């Protein structure tokens, strides 16, 4: 079985690249600290790159059925039209918490946005998750008291929600009701040791395995649904931040990264040729198509 191939797609470095999304034949991602939404056409190194600047730190960006984007800025969630740069307020989630900002966000199969808040200084457990539904929108909090909310995803049957508190080095699961978009009590799914770094962004593949990036760990781990580790892949950057599957066959794992204290990292990467282990057919691992926000 051939080894996977890791390709650096960008020659420039984001300060804090995050939140990759495959949409409209391109890979999109954000730079939190040098605020912008980025697009790389075709997800190839020679694809056209476009940077759409934003006025505040941006934790997440998700496409919508209306054709625009929702972006989670420090002050709240906004509708964003990249072609014009127009921002329209959508949901101001924590106006009474000026020390907080919004971080990771994902859309469930029904088109609801789940997005987390966090202490911008990464010291206090003031972060919670919010579920946003509809064009008004309806906002439903899911209190967790995390320091760094991160790593959101759902199982294939939509019955399990995955949530991450990076500062606590822990990935959690919670029972999820796909009809109502409500989550039950969380429990520990995976706990990282201090020498493994911090769990950051994650995604799920079509086999219900979880791919989680290790900030300050220079690796990405694939977990089985029972929480055991199926494989660990070393990466050439110390701070991989998040990942998603994309490409025409959803068999390319795109990985964002951040600069470390020495200024290394921050590029976008593509992992290709990833195969199932212990499988005589050596079938490729695929992801699932991302969902558009429905409001």
Distances (CA, A) of 100 to 76, 92, 95, 187, 290: 10, 12, 9, 24, 27
The answer to whether 224 and 230 are in contact (CB under 8 A) is yes
Q: Edge-to-edge strands of the sheet including 252-257?
A: 5-8, 269-272, 252-257, 240-246
How far apart, in whole angstroms, are the C-alpha atoms of residue 131 and residue 115? 7
The answer to whether 174 and 184 are in contact (CB under 8 A) is yes
- The C-alpha torsion from 194 through 206 and 174 to 219, rounded to 10°, is 10
User: What is the SS3 assignment for 67-131?
Assistant: CCEEEEECCCEEEEECCCCEEEEEECCCCCCCCEEEEEEEECCCCCEEEEEEECCCCCCCEEEEE
- The C-alpha torsion from 138 through 288 and 200 to 182, rounded to 10°, is 30
Active site residues: 200
């Amino acid at each position: 079985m051939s080894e996977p191939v890791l390709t650096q797609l960008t020659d420039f470095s984001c300060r804090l690249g995050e939140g990759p999304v495959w949409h409209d034949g391109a890979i999109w991602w954000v730079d939190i600290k040098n605020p912008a939404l980025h697009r790389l056409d075709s997800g190839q190194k020679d694809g056209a790159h476009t940077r759409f600047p934003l006025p505040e730190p941006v934790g997440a960006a998700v496409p919508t059925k209306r054709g625009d984007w929702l972006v989670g800025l420090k002050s709240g969630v906004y509708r964003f039209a990249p072609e014009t740069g127009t921002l329209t307020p959508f949901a101001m989630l924590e106006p009474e918490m000026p020390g907080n900002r919004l971080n990771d966000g994902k859309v469930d199969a029904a088109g609801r946005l789940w997005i987390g808040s966090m202490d911008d200084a990464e010291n206090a457990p003031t972060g919670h998750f919010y579920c946003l539904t509809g064009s008004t929108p309806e906002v439903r909090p899911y209190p967790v008291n995390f320091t760094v909310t991160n790593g959101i995803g759902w199982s294939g049957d939509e019955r399990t929600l995955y949530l991450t508190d990076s500062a606590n080095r822990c990935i959690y699961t919670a029972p999820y009701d796909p009809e109502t978009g409500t989550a039950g009590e969380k429990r520990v799914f995976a706990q990282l040791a201090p020498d493994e770094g911090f769990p950051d962004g994650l995604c799920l593949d079509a086999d219900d395995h979880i791919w989680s990036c290790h900030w300050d760990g220079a690796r990405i781990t694939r977990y089985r649904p029972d929480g055991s580790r199926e494989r660990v892949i070393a990466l050439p950057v110390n701070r991989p931040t998040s990942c998603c599957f994309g490409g025409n066959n959803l068999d390319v794992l795109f990985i964002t990264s951040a600069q470390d204290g020495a200024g290394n990292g921050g590029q976008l990467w593509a992992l290709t040729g990833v195969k199932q282990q212990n499988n005589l057919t050596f079938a490729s691992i695929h992801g699932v198509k991302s969902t558009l926000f429905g409001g």
